[in-house]
Structure 1
Amino acid sequence: MFGRFLVALIFLTGPVWAQNMGERPASRDLPFRLERVATLDLPWAIAPLPDGRLLVTTKPGEIWLFESEDGVSLENVPKVQFAGQNGLLDIAVSPDFARSGRVYFTYVSPQNALVLARARLDSSALGGVETLWQQTAGGRGQPGGIIAFGPDGMLYLSVGDRMQPDTAQVPDNPRGKILRLTPDGQPAPGNPFSGSAIRAAIWSEGHRNPYGLAFAPDGRLWSHEMGPRGGDELNLITPGQNYGWPEVSNGDNYTGWPIPDHDTRPEFTAPKLWWTPVIAPAGLAFYAGDDFPAWRGQMLIGALRGQGLVMVAGDGSDQLARWDLRMRVRDVAVDRAGHVWIIEDSDSGGLYRLVPK
């Protein structure tokens, strides 16, 4: 404790470091009500379609298509390794969906590898499923697996450290990295590194378990990741930057053994905000629409441990609100009509729409 106090004194005249948002209390004064639309077994991710329908994945291995309250479980979904933190993960709609009908999704395979796949969405099935990228098998949980399409048309993919922290600093290992790929799963041109195919695909490194990845209206990429015992992070992602895990963290190891704070190693890119106690962030979306005009341009983040929803300023400067929903919120999404959707991390988890009061 004295050592950390001394470090703080040393840096008083240095840069202004990110603030801890974890000590701010959550509110039960909600500016919305929750409308439960469906009940699912461990829902994991939401992907709104351009026509208003929703796709929802479940960790045990289903993809549901909702046109109304009655969803359809799609056929031809690949088998997954459903254990612990692993299973069927994220899903995203191709930018050219209106023409191609393609969706992208991630899962941990029965061989224990993180897989990025692509398929055509038919009325009640996936067609032409193909694997675009996969990591070497191994590791445990913390798979990452979040997909975001950039304004440049490229696909950005978060890869967790799979509970092997040192791999996040190994240049030719995709674990603990954010990748930038072509829509066909190849290293994208213009990436900051070169060399092996793995290295050429990396956009940023030094991440632990990024479960949020989204582009702001100004085109900048944001991510959040779960810290260890403390130190959940919100990061502005810049190509070629190293975010420090496991060399630095604003949290400690689960054993209680300390990890140097970000302000002790300025060569690593520090988070814009952090949370101790943790909120366990999951899901990230920027709001646009008319349901909640005051939210436009702001970030919405689900909270598992925090059991609610967090709103952060669009420039990452501050936490604007934190609502206690008394449920583990696994993902948050905004559809083209401006409706906000969340899912509950539970074996009887709800799909909810936020309705303004």
Structure 2
Amino acid sequence: MTLKKLVAVGVLMFTLYSCAQNNTQTNDNHSYELVVPDLQIPWGFVFLPDNAMLITEKKGDIIHFKNGVKTIIEGVPEVYNRGQGGLLDIQLHPNYKNNGWIYITYASSEGDDKGGNTALMRAKLKNDTLVEKQLLYKATPNTTNGQHFGSRILFDNKGDLYVSIGERGNRDENPQDLSRDGGKIYRFHDDGSIPSDNPFIQTPNAKPGIYSYGHRNPQGMALHPKTGEVWIHEHGPKGGDEINIIKPGANYGWPKVSYGVNYSGTKFTKHTSLPGMEPPNHYWVPSIAPSGMAFITSNKYPEWKGNLLVGSLKFQYLDNCYLNHDKVIKEERLLDGLGRVRSVVQGPDGYIYVGIENLGIVKLLPSKQ
């Protein structure tokens, strides 16, 4: 091979390599404290009124953590632990102090078909055991696909419950079909009943719990602290991860529109926008593989107050997104290289807590200490 050809090949390889990188700048003016050590995949966690924590491990454990002591909660439903499925998110009812309801999502094999799909359950905690368990929703059909279960849980300011369920790797059938589960955001009352103003409740054959559709695999959901809007992020394929602001009845386009391509590099759509489909509020190319999401409302981080935090599984950092109204205008890496960021929560003490795979839960300190 001639020198000219060697140079050309080198330039091409450098270009391809460069395009695969994430060039977000790193902010090193912070540190962290390891609060809960020795966790594998801390998918979700919440703080109880006594400042103890409940943590979901994807493999199927709920861990009660207080004063350095871990206790495994009994009575957790059997999970379908396959691929991206397992024990997923956890949230407390807004009136938890009075009613004691805890909500979890998990991959469940319940049903006639082999495999599993995403389920929503609520229960109460008594003597380190889940009791009064109620299955509120179970997506169908079961499938042995290991992809795209979602899932996050969120309560809005009215007390309604939102749940994200991924399209289970079936992009051609599930996300655009209102008669099928998957690739949707669902809205329920806290007891699992359907709000009378859900957008498709009068649509023939539509699943009445659907609130929005055309999603791929949403693994982040947060309530905007000022507008009360539901914000989500979702995985694209190779490129095209998105932040979306959820509107009732809206179609977010997957897989008819996307900024991503197949993992092989081939295109599956030529469209990044189409009439009647909501454009993303923000998108990432290349994909960062987002998981976990929280707004900073605390005075603990004066320079970051109002920012949106998104975990990156692929590049192993916490993405600090500066906003101008509802647009991301700047991003920077926090906790760079610490591990795959799975979950993000602002604690009752105002600090940000971050679940990192094969490490644990760390507290983000606003400046090096």
With the length of structure 2 as denominator, give the TM-score of the two structures: 0.86
Alignment partner, residue 127 of structure 1: 131
- Residues 9-48 of structure 1 mapped to structure 2, 5 A cutoff: 23-27=22-26, 29-48=28-47
Q: Distance in 1 between matches of 2:279 and 2:270?
A: 9
Aligned residues of 1:232 and 1:278 also touching (Cα < 8 A): yes
1:351 aligned onto 2:355: no
* 2:151 match: secondary structure: strand
Give distance in 1, aligned partners of 2:261 and 2:90: 32
**Structure 1: which amino acid aligns with 2:72?**
S
Q: 5 Å matches for 1:277-296?
A: 277-296=286-305
> Deviation string for 1:49-79 (max 9, x for gaps)?
2332211100110001122221211111111
Hey, what does 1:203 align to over in structure 2? 211
Aligned residue for 1:318? 329
Q: Structure 2, unaligned stretches of length 5 or more?
A: 1-18, 111-115
Rate the CA distance shift 1:46–1:197 in 2: closer, same or farther, 3 A: farther
- How has the CA–CA distance of structure 1 residues 76 and 313 changed in structure 2, closer, same or farther, with 3 Å as cutoff? same
2 CA distance for matches of 1:275 and 1:90?
24
- Alignment identity in percent? 37
Which residue matches 2:170? 164
Instruction: Tell me what 1:117 maps to.
Output: 121
Report if aligned partners of 1:35, 1:355 keep a CA contact under 8 Å in 2: no
For 1:316 and 1:185, locate their aligned partners in 2 and report how far apart those are by CA, in whole Å: 33
- Kept in 2, the 8 Å contact 1:177–1:203? The answer is yes
Which of 182, 186, 196 pairs up with 1:189? 196
Q: Tell which deviates more after alignment, 48-57 or 330-339.
A: 48-57
Summarize deviations over 1:230-285 as a string: whole Å, max 9, x none. 11101111111101001111000123221336544243111111111111000111
What letter is aligned with 2:102?
V
Counterpart in the other structure of 2:78: 79
CA distance in 2: counterparts of 1:221 and 1:283, whole angstroms: 14
**Cα distance in 2 between the residues matched to 1:110 and 1:202:** 22
Equivalence for 2:158: 152
Tell me if structure 2 keeps the 8 A contact 1:160–1:209.
Answer: yes
Match status 1:103 vs 2:110: no
Would the alpha carbon gap of residues 86 and 279 (structure 1) be closer, same or farther in structure 2, given more than 3 Å must change? same
8 A contact 1:231–1:251 mirrored in 2: yes
Of 86-95 and 42-51, more deviation after overlay is shown by 42-51
- Partners of 2:54 and 2:271 in 1: how far apart? 38
Quote the offset at 1:129 in angstroms.
1.2
Is the 8 Å Cα contact of residues 57 and 91 (structure 1) preserved in structure 2? yes
The letter for the 2-side match of 1:309 is: L
Distance 2:306 2:52 in 1: 23
Alpha-carbon contact 1:216-1:297 (below 8 Å) kept: no
Contact kept in structure 2, 1:250 and 1:259, CA below 8 Å: no
Aligned to 1:299: 308
| CA pair 30-84 structure 1, distance change in 2 beyond 3 A | farther
> 1:162 is matched by which residue type in structure 2?
R
Paired residue for 2:339, among 310, 322, 327? 327
Cα offset for 1:23? 4.5
* 1:219 corresponds to 2:228: yes
Bigger radius of gyration: 2
Does the Cα contact within 8 Å between 2:109 and 2:142 map onto a contact in 1?
A: no
Matched length: 335
Residue deviations 1:153-180 (CA, integer Å, cap 9, x gap): 1000101000000210011112101001
Indicate whether 1:247 and 2:248 are aligned.
no
Taking structure 1 as reference, are residues 77 and 196 closer, same or farther at Cα in structure 2, changes over 3 Å only? farther
Q: How far did 1:28 drift?
A: 5.6
CA contact (8 A) 2:273 2:279 kept: no
Give 1:29 shift. Answer: 1.4
Alpha-carbon distance in structure 2 between the residues aligned to 1:252 and 1:325: 26
Aligned to 2:53: 54
Whichever residue aligns with residue 188 of structure 2, its letter is: L
Distance 1:143 1:172 in 2: 18
Q: Which runs of 5+ in 1 are unaligned?
A: 1-19
C-alpha deviation, 1:30, in angstroms: 3.9
C-alpha deviation, 1:341, in angstroms = 0.8
Q: Does 1:265 align with 2:274?
A: yes
- Find the aligned partners of 1:63 and 1:198 in 2 and give their Cα distance: 34
Q: 1:28 to 1:136 in 2, by over 3 A?
A: same
Conserved 8 A contact 2:216-2:234: yes
Q: Is the 8 A contact 1:308 1:326 kept in 2?
A: yes
Distance 1:264 1:115, change over 3 A: closer
Measured in 2, the distance between the counterparts of 1:316 and 1:48 equals 30
Q: Could you say if the C-alpha distance between residues 319 and 196 of structure 1 is closer, same or farther in structure 2, counting changes exceeding 3 Å?
A: farther
